[in-house]
Chains A and B, each alone.
Chain A
Amino acid sequence: MGNCTSLQPLQFRRLALFLSLAFKAAVLIQQWYRRYVARLEMRRRCTWRIFQSIEYACEQDQIKLHNFFSYLMDHFTPSSSKERDFISRMFISGESFKEAELEKYCDYESMEVPDSYTGPRLSFPLLPDHATALLEAFKQKQQLHARYVLNLLHETRKHLKQLPNISHVSTCYSEEVTVCGDLHGQLDDLFFIFYKNGLPSPSKSYVFNGDFVDRGKQSLEILIILFTFLLIYPKEVHLNRGNHEDHMVNLRYGFAKEVMQKYKVHGKKILKMIQNVFCWLPLATLIDQKVLIIHGGISDTTDLDMLQKIQRNKVGWSFPSGSGRRCRSKSSGAASWWTASRSQRSPPIPILDILWSDPMPQEGCRVNTVRGGGCYFGPDVTDKILEKYNLQFLIRSHECKHEGYEFCHNRKVLTIFSASNYYEIGSNRGAYVKLGPDLVPHFVQYQASKTAHTLTMTQRISRVEESAFRALREKLFAHTSALISAFKAYDKDNTGKISLSSWAMAVESVLHLGLPWRMLRPQLVRSTVDGMLEYKSWLDDLAMEQRSQEHIQSSLLEVIYRNRSNLETIFRIIDRDHSGLISFEEFRQTWKLFSTHMNIELTDDGIDDLVRSIDFNKDGNIDFNEFLEAFRLVKQSQVCLQMQSREREGRYL
């Protein structure tokens, strides 16, 4: 345009015209951009819904399993001594040892630590140096010797036993209190928290609000670190029990497996000790008598005075079973061995409520059918409790939140969740909250994954989305037969095609996940003709993705996929010594039990076929770890590699 500061009229008109065009162009671009952002947001929320609904559906499965066991206990009369032994193993294994027996069984003093061991050596009473050594060792991926693990657990148990059910913290002794939520075995998150916030010390109090273990791969390291700090700074470090600090839950969600893999010889002892230590964890923490911290939530019957008095260690297993009703004593027809194993099966309801409840926006208090234990509590329930005990607000965890924390009930309930990238890298931030004497919460959020930082928002959402849809497709595959029936119902003329609308309705009627199927459709159904879907070929495509072995019939595969977690849990219960082996006969019995519960029609021949095709070695033992791994969802190539290497070894799978 030149250097002049004034314009000729013609130049001015051309400039004005140009600018108005440019503005119009800008508006167009903005329209498009805003639409793009809105779609991203929709995708992010849908992805979140998928993960949550699958997570809760899984928890419901566990509940069904427990209901089944409860039913068995109430109604089943074993017909042979073999059957009796088989069934009793399931229930006795859930019991805790008597204290004296436990000490003897988990004795560590005779365990020798070889000179070649280069990991940290603990001596008691513990000192801050021990903690630093442990942190450093775990950063280097070293493992603590089993002797020290057991020693630590013994000392932890001794300490926890003298603590009340509700811990008290005061902000006048240590200026700030830091509260952390679920960690779920994600050691990197704990490292980050310590890095950013500092280690526990006389001037730095911490409250860890449960769910230290399961799902993540370093649950044991987290426990060791937390227990160490607990013993070094007993006044400053406080632990609350979460619903995952429970043996039955650990069998299903990975902690038991992690321990057995890391400690092949002493893992069983370690697990038994931990089971006992979990029972002794306090249930709640009070800060300045004003802020109540519990893992799950409350109910309209929560009574802190009663909670204080409960014998918290008497809870055999704290997993809910159906309505969480108390154990009824059965008078008729029960053999004596039967009644012995039924004591304390159902935990007191107040504990269930504390560990499993979730807040809801509506008023009132109703049974938490999603989790199967505890309840949904409304803002009125919160208000009542706050008023009754003169509290300012509640802090709880238990639910994953996208930003790591979330307020509800008019900022009177705070959810804090410290496991970042919980569902997948980029899925959510973790957070911790700091409270000073003014009890005003200050939050620190993070995402402890280098990868997450280098991704753009779009990439992050895409990645998490991929993961969610993979899980969803697996679920769909696992219900192939039911889906076919549902689709056929909409295809009366047997054309092989149904409308997309019918597809959405059929899928929801089978999966019951409450997902927005029409929103998700583009990611699940790639090709349609005239808005109609050829459902048989769609299901075949799904199956192709999932199939890991050609020679197992697909219907069986479907059954196993659908019930994988239940199957695994039952197996692990049968395998009392956590050796990974059960006898062939037990395998058949387990399968029979399992199929009765799951309403699967599988003949004896079917089971034999299954075994033959897997070709277990003929020593009468089944390495069910390998059996389960074979059917676990792994990438095609990995499974092929495994199979190839085993064939070379002369064994199948």
Chain B
Amino acid sequence: MASRKDGAVAEIEKKIIEAFEVFDHECNKTVDVREIGSIVRSLGCFPTEAELHELLAKVEEEEPTGYINLEKFLPVMTKVLLDRSYQPIPEDVLLHAFEVSLKRIFIKTKCLFCLSGEPFTEEEMEDMLSTALDPETNTVRYRDYISMMIVDET
């Protein structure tokens, strides 16, 4: 039993190291702090921005250098994956979320997304709308949009 668990941990660590290395341009086991979000999310987690900041606080150096070391990142991220923190949102909850915000005020939801606790940047807003918006009706076909986002999951 114990060895199987160790095997699982080792496998998780290998996965984290791989994802980390994809963003490690200088091949010196560091990544730009701004890429941590991408790394964490591509490992299957759904942290809010607030949760991401918490994580960063744990892995940053005492004097923030703008870079995160693999040494510090690995144990923290391993725990995140083992504890299954930052779980994905089930599809029906997401659908409901769209219905709540979109049904009434989507186009004006631009405000909503920018005023919310975790505001979208101008860029994110444009990106999202350009893929989600149906140019003919100027509305979001959110069911299709959700399917597209969810299909991407493995």
* A25-B97 in contact (CB<8A): yes
Contacts of B109 in A (CB 8 A): 22, 26
Q: How far is the CB of A647 from chain B (nearest CB, A)?
A: 43
CB closest residue in chain A, given B93: A28
* B28-A362 in contact (CB<8A): yes
Q: Does B136 contact A (CB under 8 A)?
A: no
* A38-B37 in contact (CB<8A): yes
Binds A, one of B40-48, B57-65, B67-75, B77-85: B40-48
CB closest residue in chain A, given B25: A361
Q: How far is the CB of B119 from chain A (nearest CB, A)?
A: 8
Of the candidates B15, B26, B154, the one whose C-beta lies within 8 Å of that of A361 is B26
Q: Does A646 contact B (CB under 8 A)?
A: no
CB closest residue in chain A, given B98: A29
Dominant SS among interface residues on chain B: helix
* B42-A31 in contact (CB<8A): no
* A23-B117 in contact (CB<8A): yes
Contacts of B127 in A (CB 8 A): 37, 457
* B46-A31 in contact (CB<8A): yes
Contacts of B88 in A (CB 8 A): 35
* A361-B28 in contact (CB<8A): yes
Contact with A along B123-152 (1 / 0, CB 8 A): 010011011000000000000000011001
Separation of A29 and B113 alpha carbons in the complex (Å): 9
Q: Does B2 contact A (CB under 8 A)?
A: no
Q: How far is the CB of B41 from chain A (nearest CB, A)?
A: 3
Q: How far is the CB of B56 from chain A (nearest CB, A)?
A: 15
Whether A501 touches B149, Cβ cut-off 8 Å, given contacts A26-B101, A30-B118, is no
Q: Does A504 contact B (CB under 8 A)?
A: yes
Q: How far is the CB of A279 from chain B (nearest CB, A)?
A: 36
Q: How far is the CB of A196 from chain B (nearest CB, A)?
A: 25
Q: How far is the CB of A627 from chain B (nearest CB, A)?
A: 40
Of the candidates B41, B93, B116, the one whose C-beta lies within 8 Å of that of A38 is B41
Separation of A458 and B28 alpha carbons in the complex (Å): 30
CB closest residue in chain B, given A45: B22
Q: How far is the CB of A47 from chain B (nearest CB, A)?
A: 11
* B101-A45 in contact (CB<8A): no
* A39-B42 in contact (CB<8A): yes
Of the candidates B48, B93, B100, the one whose C-beta lies within 8 Å of that of A22 is B100
* A31-B47 in contact (CB<8A): yes
CB closest residue in chain B, given A21: B100
Q: How far is the CB of A424 from chain B (nearest CB, A)?
A: 19
* A49-B22 in contact (CB<8A): yes
Of the candidates B93, B94, B131, the one whose C-beta lies within 8 Å of that of A456 is B131
* B42-A42 in contact (CB<8A): yes
Contacts of B131 in A (CB 8 A): 456-458
Q: Does B1 contact A (CB under 8 A)?
A: no
Q: For window 5-34 of chain B, which residues contact chain A by CB distance below 8 Å?
A: 7, 10-11, 14-15, 18-19, 21-23, 25-28
Q: Does A650 contact B (CB under 8 A)?
A: no
**Tally of A interface residues using CB under 8 Å:** 37
* B41-A35 in contact (CB<8A): yes
Q: Does A36 contact B (CB under 8 A)?
A: yes
* A31-B28 in contact (CB<8A): no
Total cross-chain contacts (CB, 8 A): 118
Whether A26 touches B113, Cβ cut-off 8 Å, given contacts A34-B41, A39-B42, A458-B131, is yes
* B38-A42 in contact (CB<8A): yes
* B101-A22 in contact (CB<8A): yes
Binds B, one of A145-153, A293-301, A515-523, A614-622: A515-523
Q: How far is the CB of B78 from chain A (nearest CB, A)?
A: 14
* A23-B19 in contact (CB<8A): no
Q: Does A137 contact B (CB under 8 A)?
A: no
Contacts of A23 in B (CB 8 A): 112, 115-117
Q: Does A538 contact B (CB under 8 A)?
A: no
* A26-B116 in contact (CB<8A): yes
CB closest residue in chain A, given B117: A27
Separation of A614 and B113 alpha carbons in the complex (Å): 65
Q: For window 498-541 of chain A, which residues contact chain B by CB distance below 8 Å?
A: 501, 504, 516-519, 522
* B100-A25 in contact (CB<8A): yes
Of the candidates B21, B25, B39, B149, the one whose C-beta lies within 8 Å of that of A32 is B149
Separation of A254 and B10 alpha carbons in the complex (Å): 45
Q: Does A41 contact B (CB under 8 A)?
A: yes
CB closest residue in chain A, given B116: A26
Contacts of B45 in A (CB 8 A): 35
Contacts of A519 in B (CB 8 A): 15, 18-19, 22, 42
CB closest residue in chain B, given A42: B42
Q: Does B105 contact A (CB under 8 A)?
A: yes
Separation of A34 and B113 alpha carbons in the complex (Å): 13
Contacts of B26 in A (CB 8 A): 361-362
Contacts of A38 in B (CB 8 A): 37-42
Most chain B beta carbons < 10 A, residue from A29, A33, A41, A519: A29
Q: Does A46 contact B (CB under 8 A)?
A: yes
Contacts of A458 in B (CB 8 A): 131, 148
Separation of A29 and B112 alpha carbons in the complex (Å): 11
Whether A39 touches B152, Cβ cut-off 8 Å, given contacts A27-B48, A29-B98, is yes
Contacts of B105 in A (CB 8 A): 22
Q: For window 332-377 of chain A, which residues contact chain B by CB distance below 8 Å?
A: 361-362
Separation of A517 and B98 alpha carbons in the complex (Å): 35
Q: How far is the CB of B110 from chain A (nearest CB, A)?
A: 10
Whether A29 touches B42, Cβ cut-off 8 Å, given contacts A516-B22, A518-B15, is no
* B124-A33 in contact (CB<8A): yes
* B98-A25 in contact (CB<8A): yes
Contact with B along A370-399 (1 / 0, CB 8 A): 000000000000000000000000000000
Contacts of B94 in A (CB 8 A): 28-29, 32
Separation of A15 and B47 alpha carbons in the complex (Å): 28
Most chain B beta carbons < 10 A, residue from A21, A30, A362: A30
Q: For window 529-564 of chain A, which residues contact chain B by CB distance below 8 Å?
A: none
A-B contact pairs, 9 of them (CB 8 A): A22-B105, A23-B116, A32-B46, A32-B149, A34-B124, A37-B127, A361-B25, A518-B14, A519-B19
Q: Which 7 residue pairs are nearest across A and B when measured between Cβ atoms? A: A38-B41, A25-B97, A42-B42, A516-B18, A361-B26, A38-B38, A26-B116
- Which residues of B come within 8 Å of A, CB atoms? 7, 10-11, 14-15, 18-19, 21-23, 25-28, 37-42, 45-48, 88-89, 93-94, 96-98, 100-101, 104-105, 109, 112-113, 115-118, 120, 124, 127-128, 130-131, 148-149, 152, 154
Additional A-B contact list (10), CB under 8 Å, known A27-B116, A28-B93, A457-B131: A22-B105, A26-B97, A30-B120, A33-B124, A33-B149, A36-B149, A41-B42, A517-B18, A518-B14, A519-B18
